[in-house]
């Protein structure tokens, strides 16, 4: 996110900042040592999901899917008070103070003393708590959202100091749109507007329960074969990401285009009239470089369809057959990355193949498998399950499986 600013209410400032006096030139202007308090700024404010069972951080994302009881952390690069010498105008585009434009960045742990840039103002002076996160149920933005998190004001520095032993975090209680706001204190006026710093949609999956998420597939010719493919958009920050405490189980592929899923906080809703089709197999390839041929460990990242499955759930990663006659084994992925082995920042690309000779069928109502037309519009739908197994035990077992099955890939199982 970019630099986001807000003007703090005059009444709040007057109550919050000790040692201030009113400027004779204007009622309510808070001035210290001829500097006028202008605004509060949080730079690069963001939500982060880092489940405690995993040492590696996840790829940053805009929206999240998580298991209930996962923690969401609040982060920012700076927490600044801006001061402007009376009679001058400042734009505060950099983090460098000047004689006229003072920037007190509490993330740098400044020595609080009289004079610029902090003018003796310590966090926690008179203002006991900051409201930081609000929640909109049902992903519908409303004028008066529910408060989801407030913190003691001295803890604001924990959002930006990497050595902080007490990061700012909360457990989302349910699926909703969550907004981080410029600190609004318990002393604020009730009608003060919310100044939004950043917003995220969070889907909460409870243990023992499943949810589905769907995406539109795109046809691509790869190695001379038609595949229908999908990968999450975004590079440094993905559009969505999933807690490694979640996993994909059943996968369906359906004919049709996505309906609007915004009411459910999703990019894509599966239309009721969508018709299941049967792929011959599905690949899920980390860090895909555009070719299936020569991909190291490709058999560990593919599943053949179960021709006897019902309800269109022809692929299940809990009983994946990586060749047409292999015994089923488990595979551990989210829609966006593989977590056993841990490749939490390597984006998965999903490739769906329809080989009639391998059981692929574009029309399940006919007696023989039909080829998939090149212009077919398809959706991939993942069932998301909240994992309940012991992570370390599963991790140890899967390391052995991967090492035995794919020596060429074993060096990446870190």
Q: HSE, CB side, 13 Å, CA atoms: give it for residue 382.
A: 26
**Model confidence at 168: pLDDT above 50:** yes
**Residue 245: strand, helix, or coil:** coil
43-57, 223-237, 243-257: least confident range: 43-57
Distance CA 377, CA 258 (A): 9
* Residue 199 φ/ψ region, left for φ over 0, alpha for ψ in the -120 to 50 degree band, beta for the rest: beta
Question: What is the longest distance spanned by two Cα atoms in the chain?
Answer: 89
95-99, 162-166, 341-345: least confident range: 162-166
Q: According to the per-residue pLDDT averaged within each range, which of 160-164, 206-210, 300-304 is highest?
A: 300-304
Contact yes or no for 90/82 (Cβ under 8 A): yes
Q: What is the pLDDT of residue 66?
A: 95
Q: What is the pLDDT of residue 48?
A: 93
Q: What is the pLDDT of residue 208?
A: 84
Average model confidence (pLDDT) across the chain: 84
Percent of the chain past pLDDT 90, that is, above it, reads 62
Q: What is the pLDDT of residue 125?
A: 62
| Apex 391 CA angle, 387 and 394, nearest 5 | 100
Residue 9 vs residues 21, 44, 105, 363, 384: alpha-carbon distances, Å: 16, 22, 20, 63, 44
pLDDT (tens digit per residue) in 238-292: 999 999 999 999 999 999 999 999 999 999 999 999 999 999 999 999 999 999 9
User: DSSP assignment, residue 320?
Assistant: B
Name the pLDDT band for 19 (thresholds 50, 70, 90): very low
**Model confidence at 11: pLDDT above 50:** no
Name every residue whose Cβ is closer than 8 Å to that of residue 281 and which is 6 or more positions away in sequence: 302, 303, 304, 305, 315, 353, 355, 358
Q: What is the pLDDT of residue 189?
A: 41
* Residue 400 φ/ψ region, left for φ over 0, alpha for ψ in the -120 to 50 degree band, beta for the rest: alpha
Stronger pLDDT, 48 or 19, i.e. the higher one = 48
Contact yes or no for 269/259 (Cβ under 8 A): yes
Q: What is the pLDDT of residue 130?
A: 85
pLDDT (tens digit per residue) in 182-211: 876 655 444 355 789 999 999 999 988 899
pLDDT (tens digit per residue) in 122-133: 887 656 788 899
pLDDT (tens digit per residue) in 69-100: 999 999 999 999 899 999 999 999 888 899 99
Cis amide bond preceding 281, omega within 30: no
Report, as an integer, the average pLDDT of 305-314: 93
Q: What distance lies between CA 35 and its chain's CA centroid?
A: 40
Structural element, H or E, at residue 32: strand 30-32
- Predicted TM-score of the model (pTM): 0.85
Count other C-beta atoms under 10 Å from residue 98's C-beta. 13
Q: What is the DSSP string of 76-145?
A: -SEEEEEEEETT------SS---SSEEEEEGGG-----SSTTTTTPPTTSS--EEEEEEEEETT---SSP
Q: What is the pLDDT of residue 128?
A: 74
Q: According to the per-residue pLDDT averaged within each range, which of 10-14, 301-305, 393-397 is highest?
A: 301-305
93-97, 233-237, 350-354, 379-383: least confident range: 93-97
User: DSSP assignment, residue 234?
Assistant: -
Residue 241 pairs in a beta bridge with 64
Distance CA 60, CA 301 (A): 24
């Amino acid at each position: 996110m970019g630099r986001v600013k807000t003007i703090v209410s005059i009444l709040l400032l007057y109550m919050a900042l000790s040692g201030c006096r009113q400027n004779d030139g204007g009622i309510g202007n808070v001035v210290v040592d001829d500097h006028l308090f202008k605004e509060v700024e949080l730079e690069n404010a963001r939500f982060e999901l880092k489940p405690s069972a995993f040492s590696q951080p996840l790829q940053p994302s805009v929206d999240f899917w998580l298991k209930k009881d996962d923690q969401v952390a609040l982060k920012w690069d700076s927490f600044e008070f801006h001061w402007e010498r009376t009679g001058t105008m400042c734009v505060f585009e950099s983090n460098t103070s000047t004689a006229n434009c003072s920037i007190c960045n509490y993330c740098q742990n400044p020595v609080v003393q009289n004079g610029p840039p902090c003018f003796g103002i310590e966090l926690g002076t008179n203002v006991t708590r900051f409201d930081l996160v609000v929640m909109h149920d049902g992903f519908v933005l409303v004028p008066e959202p529910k408060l989801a998190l407030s913190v003691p004001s001295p803890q604001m520095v924990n959002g930006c100091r990497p050595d902080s032993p007490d990061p700012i975090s909360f457990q989302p209680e349910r699926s909703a749109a969550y907004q981080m706001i410029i600190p609004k204190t318990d002393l604020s006026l009730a009608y003060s507007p919310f100044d939004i710093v950043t917003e995220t949609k969070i889907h909460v999956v409870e243990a023992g329960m499943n949810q589905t998420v769907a995406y539109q597939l795109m046809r691509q010719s790869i190695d001379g074969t038609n595949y229908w493919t999908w990968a999450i958009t975004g590079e440094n920050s993905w559009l969505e990401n999933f807690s490694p405490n979640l996993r994909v189980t059943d996968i369906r592929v359906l004919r049709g285009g996505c309906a609007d899923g915004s009411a459910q906080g999703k990019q894509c809703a599966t239309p009721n009239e969508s018709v299941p089709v049967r792929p011959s197999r599905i690949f899920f390839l980390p860090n895909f470089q555009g070719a299936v041929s020569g991909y190291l460990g490709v058999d560990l990242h593919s599943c053949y369809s179960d021709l006897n499955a019902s309800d269109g759930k022809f692929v299940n990663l809990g009983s994946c057959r990586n060749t047409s006659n292999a015994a089923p084994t488990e595979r551990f992925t989210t829609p966006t990355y593989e977590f056993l082995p841990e490749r939490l920042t390597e984006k998965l690309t999903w490739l769906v193949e329809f080989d009639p000779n391998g059981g692929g069928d574009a029309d399940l109502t006919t007696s023989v498998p039909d080829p998939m037309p090149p212009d077919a519009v398809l959706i991939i739908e993942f069932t998301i399950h909240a994992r309940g197994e012991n992570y370390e035990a599963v991790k140890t077992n899967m390391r052995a499986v991967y090492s035995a099955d794919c020596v060429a890939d074993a060096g990446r199982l870190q």
